């Protein structure tokens, strides 16, 4: 670095600014350290399946599931806003029930024989 008047002035200004900054920092109260953010909790409950996932798992078409929802048939579902979801545990129970065979339903007209 050359000792020109401009270089000497820049060095003097830098030193003055450095000293001024250090003086201001000495007056400022130290900031308490920020508490660490707790880790995100993970949800370990049953999965909420989409109709597409249920269709893949059961082999029934997504449209069939939609038709059943309208008719009140098929696996139990719930809505989150306009999104349809199926509880995985309840779906598995429904599938197990299907594998056990059809459940006989009482005849609607008691005067007609069941043959």
Cα–Cα distances in angstroms (integers) from residue 104 to residues 17, 26, 110, in the given order: 90, 84, 15
Cα–Cα distances in angstroms (integers) from residue 37 to residues 7, 33, 40, 85, in the given order: 48, 12, 9, 31
Question: Per-residue pLDDT for the chain (115 aa), expressed as one digit of tens each?
Answer: 568 989 899 999 999 999 999 888 888 877 777 888 888 777 777 789 999 999 999 999 999 999 999 999 999 999 999 999 999 999 999 998 888 855 545 445 544 444 4
| The predicted structure's pLDDT at residue 102 | 54
Secondary structure class of 2 (helix, strand, coil): coil
């Amino acid at each position: 670095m050359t000792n020109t008047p401009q270089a000497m002035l820049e060095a003097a200004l830098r030193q003055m600014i450095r000293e001024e900054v250090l003086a201001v920092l000495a007056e400022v109260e130290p900031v308490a350290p920020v508490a660490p953010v707790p880790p995100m909790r993970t949800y370990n409950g049953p999965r909420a399946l989409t109709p597409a996932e249920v269709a893949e798992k059961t082999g029934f078409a997504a449209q069939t599931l939609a038709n059943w929802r309208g008719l009140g048939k098929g696996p139990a579902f719930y809505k989150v806003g306009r999104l349809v979801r199926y509880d995985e545990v309840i779906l598995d129970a429904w599938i197990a029930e299907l594998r056990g065979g059809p459940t006989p339903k009482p005849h609607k007209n008691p005067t007609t024989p069941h043959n």
